[in-house]
Amino acid sequence: MMKNLREISLPELEGMMAALGEPKFRAAQIHDWVWQKFAADINDMTNLSKALREKLAQEFFIPKVKMHHSQYSSDGTIKNRLQLHDGYFVESVLIPTEKRLTACVSSQVGCSLSCKFCATGFMERKRNLDFDEIVDEVTLLNELAQKHYGKNLSNIVFMGMGEPLLNYKNMMMAIDKITSPDGLGMSPRRITVSTAGVAKMIRQLADDNVKFKLALSLHAATDAKRNEIMAINETNNLATLIDALNYFYKATGNEITFEYILFKKFNDSEIDADDLIRLYRKVPADLINIIEYNPIDAAKFEKPDEETTEAFMKHLTAHKVNVRLRRSRGKDIDAACGQLANVGTEKP
């Protein structure tokens, strides 16, 4: 069975080269091709002998993620459909603002959490992305940023398809490669991992002393309402999540954000705002992001009017809550929050 060359560490490559009678520096050359030049094929490694390339090609392959197609929003957002080596698709988004170029990346093909408002939640989870596939997502979006905006990505958010904490090992390995000097060298402070609320794994993040930021997709501030829209709350209720978030903050001191989508006549009243304020007081959260709802065909929810949204925001601000309204980007191409995977993940 062919092996993924990108899963072979530099020390392992050095051992392989020694076994083949090749000089040690060949391992560094191969590692450089894989992680600095992001080679798509072993035959691209032109500073290796043809004989060595042939030997490697007999045992290894490079499962590169390919850009299938892109859609361009009127606001500058670019949604991308990416094809994995086994034919599955995921979607990722490049989001430009005046100060940032953010990559919104996926961690799974589909999702198992079945949140009632999210397009991906209506899909079956096919598999986790491998760590190198997540790195490919980021490098492809970085190339897109350079091509269209003349600069590199400034931020990465794990807010695409899937629950990143249910693909913990690959997510962590990808972030390690993205932030390491022999990878992309990005600061972990510019990375945010968003979770629907897997308390056990939030605690694991704390134990692993991660340096990146954490966002909780909250969307309702009582168990009764959250149970209605997010099945994960039945096994990871708010009290459990509050404990896990406090544990995380005590261990890391890293920024925590609440994400809260406003749904018309569901979680947008003053009573809902008061529930949110009470919850906010129990966690050292830096910010509540109020998010505009982006309708999908499969869900019954609607976006509240501007007056309701403004009143909700004002009530939070009056109670000294640090709150920000996050306007949706890429709505015209179904690239906004909760809309990814409208085109599906099926194999061609």
User: Catalytic residue numbers?
Assistant: 91, 337
Tell me the C-alpha distance between 263 and 184, whole Å: 38
For residues 138-157, b (16+ Cβ closer than 10 Å) or e, as one string? bbbbbebbeeeeeeebbbbb
Alpha helices in the chain (DSSP H): 10-19, 25-35, 50-59, 131-149, 168-179, 199-207, 223-229, 238-252, 270-280, 306-318
Strands 287-291 and 213-217 come out as: unpaired
Beta-bridge partner residues of 288: 258, 323
Residue 261 neighbours by CB under 8 Å, 6+ apart: 117, 219, 267, 291, 292, 293, 337, 338
List of residues 6+ apart from 104 with CB closer than 8 A: 92, 93, 94, 95, 157, 159, 160
In a 13 Å sphere around the CA of 75, the CA atoms on its Cβ side amount to: 19
Using the Cα atoms of residue 30, residue 35, residue 41 and residue 45 in order, give the sign of their dihedral: negative
Torsion of CA 306, 311, 317, 319, to 10 degrees: -160
**Cα gap 64→135, rounded to integer Å:** 10
> Tokens 């670019």 identify what position?
78
Burial of residue 130, with CB atoms counted within 10 A of its CB: 0-12 exposed, 13-18 middle, 19 or more buried: buried
